[in-house]
Structure 1
């Protein structure tokens, strides 16, 4: 059994919907060899990352940057993981009221330092909340889980 870790900050009902959608997609009934778990960034630690075969990161855009909770997660896991998670497949989604590019760049900078491997383009859910964001996040979770199960990642 492979493990997909979802580390997503969900401080609002809408960001919670997105994290739950990623988890729902990752737990699609057609994917039987992947276990998916969502852990809030302030609760996730290095042991969770070290046990994962892939990671989905989720964050709202806060002042053009990732949430403080996701940054705290990276601060706490960075040195314990840097020599043990090279090429760890990951994906990112951002709930952005504006453009999300600063958030995307900040996460890319840290994941590049960790030497993780982005396996798809970041999903940036821009502007006013749209129910389509939920569908996109569900597809993201399914894509990561199915790719992990198939050995693509």
Structure 2
């Protein structure tokens, strides 16, 4: 039997719709066919470097706020960056953005921070643009399932 892997989902969910996206990512990660992955879901203010240091992969979720990531996710990065900098290089990660506009600034900011951390993006960014659509939930579910299944299979 292989060792259990740990997937951390850190996602800001300030509205019912963004909560649906976070729950969808979690549902995908907890798919019944994924056997050896433990999933922890935390809001950014509840997550910190100790959670990042304990995980094998991370999924980030944020809203687009004034062309940038949510203040909550930025706070998470502010508290976690230096404690994780030398210890989490190569950490597999993926992320989704709930963007009312185009998500460009938010995408750029996350890429900049995770490049500095030397994390390894394992899936193209999921940017849920425009008015809310149920399709966003399906996409977040697939993202969670992809990352967890990749962990489970030893691919990341």
Can you list the C-alpha shifts for 1:16-74, whole angstroms capped at 9, x where unaligned?
A: 00000000000000001001111000010111000000000000000110000000000
What corresponds to 2:63 in structure 1?
60
What RMSD, in angstroms, separates the aligned Cα atoms of the two structures? 0.4
What corresponds to 2:119 in structure 1?
116
d(CA) in 1 for partners of 2:91, 2:98: 23
d(CA) in 1 for partners of 2:18, 2:64: 11
What corresponds to 2:32 in structure 1?
29
| 1:97 pairs with 2:100 | yes
Alignment of 1:3-152 (within 5 A): 3-152=6-155
Q: Which runs of 5+ in 2 are unaligned?
A: none
d(CA) in 1 for partners of 2:122, 2:104: 18
d(CA) in 1 for partners of 2:93, 2:32: 21
TM-score (norm 1): 0.99
Shift of 1:151: 1.0
d(CA) in 2 for partners of 1:20, 1:109: 26
TM-score (norm 2): 0.97
Shift of 1:102: 0.7
d(CA) in 2 for partners of 1:96, 1:19: 14
Task: State the number of aligned residues.
Answer: 153
